[in-house]
């Protein structure tokens, strides 16, 4: 699964795609509303491709977590980020049973499910062609 070009901006809800570059920042477009806004160098911008979840042993890339959710839900919506904390924890535990309970907070789990649902709703959970080739071989 590829998450290239999908961004999360601290303080802004939802996910964004980079549209253009400016002298002191970038222009991003909301995946949900298609509204464009500027994002400056002072904003904390994270690429979903670079985010990982802590486990007891090491870290698991977010795209791998999304793939596990997709496999579990058959590509449909996952548990809502507005569900009860126990529901969210239980579902997260089925996806990533060895996550580090001391460093992965309920707010992190809610973000994962919110982001996954946004991507699923907008058909952006695209299989990486390289991974498909490796599976076939």
CATH code assigned at 65? 1.10.10.1650
The answer on 65 and 81 residing in a single domain is: yes
Instruction: Label residue 102 by pLDDT band (50, 70, 90).
Output: very high
**Residue 28 half-sphere exposure, CB side, CA atoms within 13 Å?**
24
**How many secondary structure helices (H) and strands (E) does the chain include?**
4, 7
Q: Which segments within 36-90 are labelled E, that is strand?
A: 36-40, 45-47, 52-54, 59-61
Q: What is the pTM for the complete model shown?
A: 0.87
Q: Please give the structure tokens belonging to residue 135.
A: 């599976």
Number of domains in the chain: 2
Could you tell me if 85 and 20 lie in one domain?
no
Across the range 52-70, mean pLDDT stands at 94
* Residue 134 reports pLDDT greater than 80: no
Question: Domain range for residue 77?
Answer: 50-136
The reply to whether 40 and 94 lie within a common domain is no
Structural domain contains residue 1: no
Phi and psi at 37, nearest 5°, equal -140, 155
């Amino acid at each position: 699964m590829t998450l290239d070009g999908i961004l999360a901006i601290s303080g802004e809800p939802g996910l964004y795609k980079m549209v253009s570059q400016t002298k002191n920042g970038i222009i991003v477009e909301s995946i949900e509303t298609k509204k464009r806004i500027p994002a400056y160098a002072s904003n904390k911008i994270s690429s979903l491709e670079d985010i990982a979840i802590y486990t007891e042993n090491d870290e698991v890339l977010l795209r791998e977590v999304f793939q596990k959710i997709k496999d579990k839900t058959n590509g449909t919506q996952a548990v809502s980020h507005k569900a009860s904390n126990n529901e969210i924890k239980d579902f997260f535990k089925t996806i990533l049973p060895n996550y580090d309970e001391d460093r992965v907070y309920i707010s992190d789990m809610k973000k994962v499910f919110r982001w996954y649902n946004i991507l699923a709703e907008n058909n952006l959970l695209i299989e990486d062609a390289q991974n498909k080739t490796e599976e076939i071989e």
